[in-house]
Structure 1
Amino acid sequence: MTAVNDTPVQLTDDEIFTAHEGGKLAVGATASLADPRALSIAYTPGVARVSRAIAADPSLADRYTWAGRLVAVVSDGTAVLGLGDIGPRASLPVMEGKAALFKAFGGLDSIPLVLDTTDVDEIVETLVRLRPSFGAVNLEDVSAPRCFELEAKLIEALDVPVMHDDQHGTAVVTLAALRGANTVLGKDIADQRVVVSGAGAAGVAITRILLAAGAGEVTLVDSRGIIHAGRAGLNPVKEQLAPLTNGSGLRGGLDVALRGADVFVGVSSAQVPEEQVASMAAGSVVFALSNPDPEVHPEVAARHAAVVATGRSDFPNQINNVLAFPGIFRGALDAGARRITEGMKLAAAGAIAAVAAEDLAVDRIVPSALDPRVGPEVAAAVALAAAEDGVA
């Protein structure tokens, strides 16, 4: 079941498979080919003049081809939605859908590239060799912890914006939603202790953006319990976060972390018993974002929390990445940015929260994914932040 304009609808296999038959994308010409003159301009002999000009000045490619504003949507199919490691071919329908969202909500052309390798260096080498064909890279559905290494290496190897949306898109919308919730409740993030359950791609990025936004304290919990300095067996990413989190020095599992906490953000498959939600502080906020099964059912969470959000479209307050990534990439490309900075992500979260502020309520802490204002507002804020951060 999904929802359109907050109205739940039933989807059948027939309509889903029929809609995907032949794929969801096509290439359309922007130049006229209606007569011999038009053909001569668009292709031979006219195109040769443009190619010669680009050969003499490669920077002209951004003006006279689509590459400068083309987003490559790249995946190896190792962490697809709630499906896991299903491989590149099975991931392609998702990447096609992502490309369609880029066009609909960001006005950007994009092309799916699913790669038949999980080797980080091979993926980097492939994209470096393909670099003349695109102007930005959206990494999608790459498993952790490889995704951290892959993103970092691509940012260094390429001179275009690179962002792993499962990390940063989720983090941006989560921060925007928390700002909306706090406005409704009259609370300040600086006074809150936030528990993040799940230390994969999304959990790590959410932790980092909440710290950057001034959260009072963030407690990060993985499958083995609370992450803290000195805990054995931490990977390098968790080791970096350990001294920055868990300021209260808690030890134990999620039950310990949630006791008295102000905010819960779930981005793992771990189910949370009702009594643990009940142990949180009064007026708490619960974001149970796992799909298709939230960590705690929203109706159960609402018995104890003041604001509840999920990643699903058939409950109020959907935390949906489509609110973030189209505008982030559009703003980065509009500004000619070569990187996506922390400041640009914070600006995106602020823009989403600002759109939501016009119609805030406990069941409307973020705008609808279909709100046409979001993409342009996010793009404008991100472009401005790129200039302020000196990457434009």
Structure 2
Amino acid sequence: LEVRPDCIIATGRSDYPNQVNNVLGFPFIFRGALDVRATAINEEMKIAAVKALADLTKEDVPDSVLRAYNKETMKFGREYIIPAAMDPRVLLWEAPAIAQAAMDSGVARKMIDIEEYKQELAFRQGKGARMHHLIMNRAKSSGGTKRIVFEEGEEAKIIRAAYRVKEEGIGQPILLGNADRIKEKIKELGLKYDPVIINPRNKDRREKYGEAYYAMRQRKGMTQTYAQEVMRRSNVFAPMMLHMGEADAVVSGLTYDYPDVIRPALKIHHTTEGVEKVAGLYIMIIDSRAYIFADTTVNINPSAEDLVEIATLAANFAKSIEINPRVAFLSFSDFGSTDHPYSNKVAKAAKLMKEKHPEIPSDGEMQADTAVVANFIEERFPFSTVRNANILIFPSLDAANISYKLLSRLGKAKAIGPILVGIGAPVHVLQQGDEVDDIVKIAAVAVMDAMSRD
């Protein structure tokens, strides 16, 4: 038995490449047809479904799909000519194509706006998808003009994320690194992408940045020689690009420890005017609700005054993503039930917050269940001015960091972040091990941040 070497084979089996599975067709064909009240499913609609699937195979495959199929990479070719059955994007590609074909071919009884329909389909996938699209749409409203520097430009995940940022109109990526290595990696990934690449070791730019850095830091122990040398480090070079007006935002942290990104950025850009502390937030999507946890990444043992500033920064960010803030200062004590320095600190913060920002609904100190269970607080503490809190201010980094990670891993909550607030320029930090979707979201947050400073 011989097999032609140029054959491409598709089967119905899941243990072979190119599985032809009915789940790729029927659910999404019917979805699109029903949503425009089509009188029939005609040949034009079937062809539209095939073309949508074919186009999807040429897109970068999400990490969630790679993980489900235990693959390092999947790209269009002999072993990938049809999307995977578990790819969640099929709904968003195929159903709109069917709906459009039904309208174009005259069998639709209901006319719809396809772009609005795509967004509606995404929202049906849950609160997490709704928040994702809100952030993406806000970023895209910039016209895709903001220049985003990715410090770790030679990393495959960063390249894939930058490709999506460009293709989806979120911004203009700039990759830092060696051009030859980046282009070779792009070729391996099978992407049609010609990014802007800057090598921090380029002598002309490094000398120019070094001079500016020395002028900035010469009275803080910086020598001219070291200022030139340190520009070889992308975690210093990237925030200097912002300072020199050659970029609008920075995204970093996939291979760096968190402090190694924040410290150089603070030395160059400091904090926002009128702000003493930088803080890290996470948006936590739990069932159909969105919460903001703070401070999850920066301040180890914040004072009462620090907690007020963190709460204010979190509330302002919440407003930018259409969340009406209701702030709860968390403790192991409910409204003075335990007299202890730890709970007294939180009670002081709650009091200061009401004095400084009476326009922001806030209360505390309170336990976590008191903050998020409305019936509980109504029965036991009817005097409280906050019910169903959505901004949760933790008394320490220990509490906040542990809480968001346990919820993410054991409670199946969706986490978006970390989101850095209070810093003097749009510098945003990834978590080591972030997936491509996470990187794209942080890039979009960075664009929103840059837009807010225009």
| TM superposition score normalised by structure 1 | 0.31
| TM superposition score normalised by structure 2 | 0.27
